[in-house]
Structure 1
């Protein structure tokens, strides 16, 4: 029996839920207000004298769009984009309106619960019984205190997904230091998109996602990023797509299938999985041999007769570099032979299409090369990414109008309390004594930020140690991580705390349920994800009082801190609550008012957003300038550029990154990829290593309504889940007609997908939109521990059950797209 069945059928749960729970199980149709979401397109819900409009922030994806939440007579009945928020611009994507369905989800947890059945498994009834918050927090505190007394505090782990700022994930660092565990706050970035961040860390010194000036871009080259499906910031991207297409921006999509973005682009290049880097290298080759590089940013030959010629090296002393480093060396070792014909042999893309793409990209300025998890979710992902990002330097797009930059931080304040003053002797002794359970940032994985996918595996082997207790916040690795059934084995002997507002697979193994508020019940603040580069902060105010006996996650951590022994308790007594954290955040705006007049907490709540335009720096014709309040006129020195923009050791865009070539990192890369030492630093083609043992590539893209797993139990999303294949109450595995015929598979047949790590079943859609050697099954359905509407959707399990846990060694990103599987008719 799963969590949901237990929650709905067990008398003890209904006793915990009370009248609210009894009303909830009646279903969405019985909930007043839900039907009022049917406002006409382009109009807003009718606001009566009893209507309150609350400023909030969406949590349907990572974008963080500003919201106007309409509440009448205590019921949320509509959500629209906040017109004062530049990111949402008064608009929302289709999933942005679904907040009320999460708020009023009849399957939500109604309060804290504890497990009574010691057996754990998919088919085990946890036997949850209701408890008070005092009992729940005291139970956790007693367990954590006992760990500390045994000098084992390092065995407490907190793993999280989407963090929102100082009021939740921002608490982890201090909490872990004061308590004595380096594993407090292991993020999900290694199952998200760390590959692109580490590439940029290497080449331009910024360990971050880019912000993009799409509105002024004239040529967009997209590698594997689902721009019209799920690429951040999704809502803003769709708005910018319309503007780009209206003004004639040329768009090319490089992908492994005919995705929605590929179908809407001017040109699509369908490549074999993991070979994107070869395309990018060939494009760079053409840009240089055709003389299309941006000379003010890149540099030029010292004599006019010299040029780049296919197959011929150049004398480095004859090329004078400006803001790049080691272009001649890159040409001599790699690019001189990386012709379009060479790339065709690797990728299957005709050479003439590569040439046309390269000439267009090199001559249509400003131009941007965008990439994300597609090319980097392979064992060679860092090298694919480096080849792609190098194109942005070659065409002079770094920090230029119509190009790409990085997000500035805001003027938000912080708590006026120094954690160092509350470190006891034990905490000081534990600092740095034990590695994180995932081994990120150690000699095993020296270049990574997180390795969340290895937590379960490391626990089972006892290396570096066994976990005692783990808490999950906004992450469900049993569903979303590779080879995810390993978690089911690992959590058998671990005390598990789940904080999700609603059932998920991790909750099936929980010893305690400490349910968080939904995002429409929360007070929270956050800075924007990369958007236009200029600083922006948002506030999420509760649209209604909490419907049930839940507690905001930030307050859970603060209340646990108050129950810890010694000065740690004193620190969290000073912190007090999330409300104090938010007040301190807003206090930073008093001396730096936003463009919209926000200068304190009251005005922040009124507007919902603080921001200051424009982006402070710009590269113009190879020179860098700072904004003087009216225009970009303050010339920046090389030292300024190095400190603020190109943060590499050289202060330039590095085609042979020093971060790759230092001895420790070079040895690590060579160990995992076998690259000769003299080639480690250069973007070059590294053959991908496929895993799983099958004969068909498996790709598991995100869909527009996936909402990072939060929409699985929302029936309205199922109606348009996979529109290109007809998927409503299910999702289909897309397979080419020839591959299907060879296996006796017809359209809508039940099929089995298997690999070296597992097997699942689903339905097939015979489609010409995928290559003959590739199948596509979106990461969507297959839930077995979620709410009632997420159950029995035609997919027997998560697609990650057949994806091996293999990583790209530089970033630690899971090689999700490197899986090869067998497919057969059931």
Structure 2
């Protein structure tokens, strides 16, 4: 039956040999294809002849193809998933979806999926090495893993175990936290620093919110997108698609992006900024807003006599420290709203809901004119001024939409602060038509693990982590704490250096760091040297090729139980992942069934702590029964953690939103909706040190000083170690930092940057023919190809034509792609969509899966492994790599 599935425009060029991974799975193919699963394509075609609602049942689940995490419904006919739609009960996404959920149908029925546990037989690891996978049973696989873990514990070195997490449901801590902590390792490493931590850094040190934001598109009057492409990517895609047309009737849209994105193509203003110079543009806009007297005076405040003293190039008298500061050290201004010691001067600026606007002007903004910014950003001064004043004119109904593009840069922490601080200047934080937070939901957390840690686990789980967080060069200041976050991509360097310890055993799930991280060669080397590695995955990805065990995971949308929490359209929501079809193959649920099986095996070997934690801590909240197997454990854990949504006896039931009528009602409806967000309740209660929106961040000052003291240095020493150039009190305000690039400009004349596809299910779509056949929905891209986009001006200078195969080389590596001459790109830059370049994952994703030949190029092979170190983020944006382009 697999021969009936189209793999390209030319099947002959896409055949996969029986060697390699699929060879090991061959024994299961006949049984699998005899069932209904791979008849899906022909069966669905026959079903289409009937009326749409004539057969089948709509069942609720959740799409996790991006971080919108939308509630959806799956139509199941005769045990087969045949169609998807938005959950009509979901208030957040209006019962709508984007293209990504539809692609999941090809994922779940992908003939290249991992079908049963596989064991490596070739001890030599490396790219291009045939692992020699052979099928084994789950029992044998879990025996192998349990033996390796027990070796670490028996040798007194449990810290040499690591668990790497990619995407997840909120049953995550059952595996991600409990397994390493109860074994005795500190090394649970999340993917989040390759996803967005720098984006959270800015809002946290301005308003105390370490989270993604929601946006009131219904009432806004101006949207300023910083690298965001809301109708294609980012975090409220279905809501944005559904609302964008209505919003455009009432609001102005300006897009800051070196690429003409789908959103930019429909915008009123396109600002094709030089990659990495977003911060210069943001502080120049802040300068204009203050210099022109356009700030929101009812939110920020004003000079006592109403005269604007924000004159370009001139400082403003700063208020004196207040006696009301309760003994706190106050050497750089007062707590916002406190009365200064003297109010006789007409030059006093009385702040209301913000803190430090005068200090911000004096330290950074007074000289950041549009003319100054034009030289650095490539954006005309008159456009900078026009956009800034248009944004300010919308007042509190304006949105400065921060995204990874403007923050996940080598020096992007302060750019993130600057772009978000614009919301503070116009008073749109926590305001109607502006930028808001989330509504609380009634979900719970996993039980405390400490009672199940023995002395070895309790002590060794406190050791330093392999990702270098908290070191001088990696403050990772999540929540203001030195080392409070994660530095995902630095874990490879820690593994290679065996610092702070050696990793001997590792599990990774729902992740592919050998493909998805910049400087991906480091992960290939680290995984090659790893003595024992287990990969839980749906498809044999690049990371799988270094594994000693590959374990087949249930697909999250169709075969797995879990729940997620999200927000869109001023509503928070809790949405269930449900097993809506019987699994095709011998797959297990990664976050629940697999750790339960492992706990059983460890108990057989005399270490029952994890097993007792699962069986004693996770009882059915309706019956009180303890789980006896992985499936029961999954259900009981899910019911426990979502109990506040559906159990009328729970203390949080109905407090924040829907009152679902029991567990079966929750399963049927699939989603819990919160009340609509209420504006203004956070004003003067922001989680900053002052309780205000901080333009001079006392919160960041405390965090940086704490990190400096930890390493016996100064704040300037921290900035130097983290590759920032600002010094002194600039460290505490949003300020301009020049872009950091790798590669000599003469040898590598082009700034390379990447963008995201509206079809990428977080890099997991490339083995879907629908993805390849519709790739041109992304502006500038071509179907069944991987293109490097170049402005015709630059292409003419190099004598390059459309369709030429070109070699793209940076200081880090070389890839090849097809050239696309495209006017929607800033000259001097070249761009490529992320998602192609797989040398594994399947017969469609790779040009030749069996021979490890990639289709196109993986951007991460030419992106320098740079970091935004204050947050711990990977600096995948802002043009960290210069490249040269040559015809192949």
- Spell out the pairing of 1:142-221 with structure 2 (5 A cutoff): 142-165=147-170, 167-169=171-173, 171-184=175-188, 186-221=189-224
- How far did residue 118 of structure 1 move? 1.0
Aligned equivalent of 2:7: none
Aligned equivalent of 2:719: 669
Aligned equivalent of 2:475: 446
Aligned equivalent of 1:695: 749
Q: Distance in 1 between matches of 2:574 and 2:182?
A: 28
Residues 196, 37 of structure 1: alpha-carbon distance in 2 compared, 3 angstrom cutoff: farther
Q: Distance in 1 between matches of 2:637 and 2:312?
A: 59
Q: Distance in 1 between matches of 2:125 and 2:18?
A: 13
- From 426, 433, 439, give the equivalent of 1:402: 433
| Residue ranges of structure 1 left out of the alignment (5+ in a row) | 626-635
Aligned equivalent of 2:644: 588
Aligned equivalent of 1:437: 466
- How far did residue 18 of structure 1 move? 4.5
Contact kept? 2:91, 2:569, Cα under 8 Å = no
Contact kept? 2:439, 2:675, Cα under 8 Å = no
* 1:570 equivalent in alignment to 2:612: yes
Aligned equivalent of 2:45: 35
Contact kept? 1:115, 1:511, Cα under 8 Å = yes
- How far did residue 384 of structure 1 move? 1.2
Q: Distance in 2 between matches of 1:22 and 1:803?
A: 44
Q: Deviations over 1:445-490 (max 9, x none)?
A: 2225221212222211222222112222111111110111222221
- Spell out the pairing of 1:217-616 with structure 2 (5 A cutoff): 217-245=220-248, 247-317=249-319, 318-365=348-395, 366-414=397-445, 417-432=447-462, 434-448=463-477, 449-494=485-530, 495-554=532-591, 555-564=593-602, 565-574=607-616, 575=618, 576=627, 577-589=633-645, 590=647, 591=650, 592-593=653-654, 595-615=657-677
> Which secondary structure state, in structure 2, belongs to the residue aligned with residue 563 of structure 1?
helix
Aligned equivalent of 1:803: 863
* 1:750 equivalent in alignment to 2:805: yes
Q: Deviations over 1:261-305 (max 9, x none)?
A: 211101111111111111111111111122211112111111123
Q: Distance in 2 between matches of 1:751 and 1:180?
A: 49
Contact kept? 2:214, 2:568, Cα under 8 Å = yes
Q: Distance in 2 between matches of 1:313 and 1:774?
A: 37
Aligned equivalent of 1:126: 131
Q: Distance in 2 between matches of 1:535 and 1:704?
A: 23
Contact kept? 2:495, 2:503, Cα under 8 Å = yes
> Which secondary structure state, in structure 1, belongs to the residue aligned with residue 413 of structure 2?
helix
- From 763, 766, 770, give the equivalent of 1:716: 770
Residues 441, 408 of structure 1: alpha-carbon distance in 2 compared, 3 angstrom cutoff: farther
Contact kept? 2:239, 2:569, Cα under 8 Å = no
- How far did residue 530 of structure 1 move? 3.4
The TM-score normalised by the length of structure 2 is 0.85
> Which secondary structure state, in structure 2, belongs to the residue aligned with residue 530 of structure 1?
strand
- How far did residue 692 of structure 1 move? 3.7
> Which secondary structure state, in structure 2, belongs to the residue aligned with residue 35 of structure 1?
helix
Contact kept? 1:503, 1:785, Cα under 8 Å = yes
> Which secondary structure state, in structure 2, belongs to the residue aligned with residue 707 of structure 1?
coil
Residues 722, 10 of structure 1: alpha-carbon distance in 2 compared, 3 angstrom cutoff: closer
- How far did residue 675 of structure 1 move? 2.0
Q: Deviations over 1:293-330 (max 9, x none)?
A: 11121111111234322222111230011111111011
> Which secondary structure state, in structure 1, belongs to the residue aligned with residue 309 of structure 2?
coil
Q: Distance in 2 between matches of 1:119 and 1:650?
A: 57
Contact kept? 1:479, 1:783, Cα under 8 Å = yes
- How far did residue 596 of structure 1 move? 4.5
Contact kept? 1:221, 1:252, Cα under 8 Å = yes
* 1:813 equivalent in alignment to 2:873: yes
Q: Deviations over 1:670-699 (max 9, x none)?
A: 332132122111111111110144211111
- Spell out the pairing of 1:46-61 with structure 2 (5 A cutoff): 46-48=53-55, 51-61=56-66
Q: Deviations over 1:87-116 (max 9, x none)?
A: 232211112222221111111111111111
Aligned equivalent of 2:27: 15
RMSD value over aligned CA atoms? Answer: 2.3
Greater shift, 7-16 or 498-507, is seen at 7-16
Residues 249, 425 of structure 1: alpha-carbon distance in 2 compared, 3 angstrom cutoff: same
Q: Deviations over 1:478-519 (max 9, x none)?
A: 111011122222112211211111121111111101111012
> Which secondary structure state, in structure 1, belongs to the residue aligned with residue 667 of structure 2?
helix
Aligned equivalent of 2:10: none
Q: Distance in 2 between matches of 1:334 and 1:650?
A: 21
Q: Deviations over 1:519-551 (max 9, x none)?
A: 244343334333245432111111111111010
Contact kept? 2:301, 2:350, Cα under 8 Å = yes
- How far did residue 252 of structure 1 move? 0.3
Q: Distance in 2 between matches of 1:315 and 1:3?
A: 73
Q: Deviations over 1:591-630 (max 9, x none)?
A: 4137554143111111111122122x422xxxx48xxxxx
> Which secondary structure state, in structure 2, belongs to the residue aligned with residue 680 of structure 1?
helix
